[in-house]
């Protein structure tokens, strides 16, 4: 996925953005201390993601950390297990029917190597039906293809083709799934 890098200087945050970040931390704290699947929990999820979470989708608490939830778009029938880390200043899009296992990390921002208060940001895209294994890390600018599988513990540094299975650090394609077998 070719995408332009966006740079954000953390020293130049507006009072409004600081207030918004505090509000997000408060919602996240309350969410992590609310019984999952209750109406209150689902209401907090919708509030945190500004309504950008599709019907039938569910995210298990706890979230270990989150930056810029307003930059996250979650499709329909997505399941995300507990302790997933979203660093979303660069944007994260998760399409329909995706499964993400516990302790995965979706990271769309990094720090400039020389000016550490500047974030370098590129969006992350997880396409329809993809499956991200436990503890996998998806780095900035990466697109995980349709129905692709990212093996547990893998570190994904470049795009994953549709229907590919990738494993390792850095991840490598080890298999291409038969797309005719998907309903």
Among candidate residues 23, 111, 158, 175, the one labeled active-site is: 111
The span from the CA of 130 to the CA of 111, in Å, is 27
| 34 burial level (CB within 10 Å; 0-12, 13-18, 19+) | middle
Q: What is the DSSP letter of 98?
A: -
Counting DSSP H helices and E strands in the chain, the numbers are 2, 19
- How do strand 58-59 and strand 79-80 relate by DSSP bridges? parallel
Sheet of 143-144, strand order: 72-74, 92-94, 124-126, 143-144
The span from the CA of 146 to the CA of 159, in Å, is 11
Mark whether 33 is an active-site residue.
no
Q: Sign of the C-alpha dihedral, residues 21, 130, 59, 56?
A: positive
Contact 131, 99 (CB under 8 A): yes
Contact 139, 28 (CB under 8 A): no
The set of catalytic residues is: 111
């Amino acid at each position: 996925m070719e995408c332009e890098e966006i740079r954000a200087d953390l020293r130049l945050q507006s009072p409004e953005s600081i207030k918004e970040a505090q509000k997000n931390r408060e919602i996240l704290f309350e969410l992590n201390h609310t019984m999952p699947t209750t109406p209150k929990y689902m209401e907090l999820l919708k509030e945190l993601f500004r309504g950008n979470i599709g019907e039938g989708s569910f995210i298990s608490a706890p979230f270990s950390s989150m930056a810029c939830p307003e930059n996250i778009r979650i499709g329909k029938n997505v399941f995300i297990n507990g302790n997933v880390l979203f660093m979303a200043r660069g944007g994260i899009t998760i399409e329909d029917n995706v499964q993400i296992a516990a302790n995965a990390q979706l990271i769309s921002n990094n720090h400039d190597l020389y000016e550490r208060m500047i974030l370098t940001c590129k969006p992350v895209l997880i396409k329809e039906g993809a499956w991200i294994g436990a503890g996998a890390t998806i780095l900035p600018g990466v697109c995980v293809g349709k129905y692709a599988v990212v093996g547990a513990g893998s570190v994904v540094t470049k795009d994953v083709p549709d229907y590919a299975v990738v494993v390792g650090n850095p991840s490598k394609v080890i298999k291409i799934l038969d797309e005719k077998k998907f309903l």
